[in-house]
Amino acid sequence: MRSHAVCRRAGFTLVELLVVISIISVIVGLMLPAVQYIREAANRISCANNLKQQVLAMKLYYETHNHLPPSRLSDGKATWSVLIFPYLEQQNLHNNWDLSKLYYEQSDVARLTPLKLYFCPTRRLPLMEPRAILSGDQMLDANGQLGTHVPGALADYAVCVGDGAVDNFM
């Protein structure tokens, strides 16, 4: 007598394959919030480091000039953020600024170059320009209406100059 051996095909059935795929998708679904939490924690650390670098640049400016940088050189001219460029290792960008000119008279290279250090990575990328209404980067016409949109490298961090009491900070 001959015995008939039953041949089984090597491989997965459709049901087995679907079970494996569903298990993998559940595991990935459980891991995604953890990955996003880690990414957000890294962004918070990066944001805090950006602020720390700016504070250190202010301190170096103070040590060099014996005063903190002014909020603005004069109406419409460069702000503190430009004055601390050399202390943020951005001397080339600082050299593009003509401190005697108004902000909107600056070259496009000077005015439009975003500095990642001035942006919180959680909020947006430096190259994503916010809406002009929110950022205040539109000039007013003679009637006080919003006029021509003049883009510029903006920032997420703000400084409150107040009534001059900031001079007592250091």
Alpha carbon distance 168, 157 (integer Å): 21
Alpha carbon distance 20, 47 (integer Å): 40
Predicted confidence at residue 26, as pLDDT, reads: 94
Predicted confidence at residue 118, as pLDDT, reads: 81
Cα diameter, the chain: 108
Predicted confidence at residue 57, as pLDDT, reads: 92
Predicted confidence at residue 124, as pLDDT, reads: 60
Beta strand 138-140 with 146-149: parallel, antiparallel or unpaired?
antiparallel
For tokens 């924690």, the residue is 41
Low-confidence ranges of the chain (pLDDT < 70): 1-9, 124-170
Predicted confidence at residue 4, as pLDDT, reads: 61
What residue spans define the domains of the chain? 42-168
Tokens standing for 62? 């103070």
Predicted confidence at residue 130, as pLDDT, reads: 44
Alpha carbon distance 29, 25 (integer Å): 6
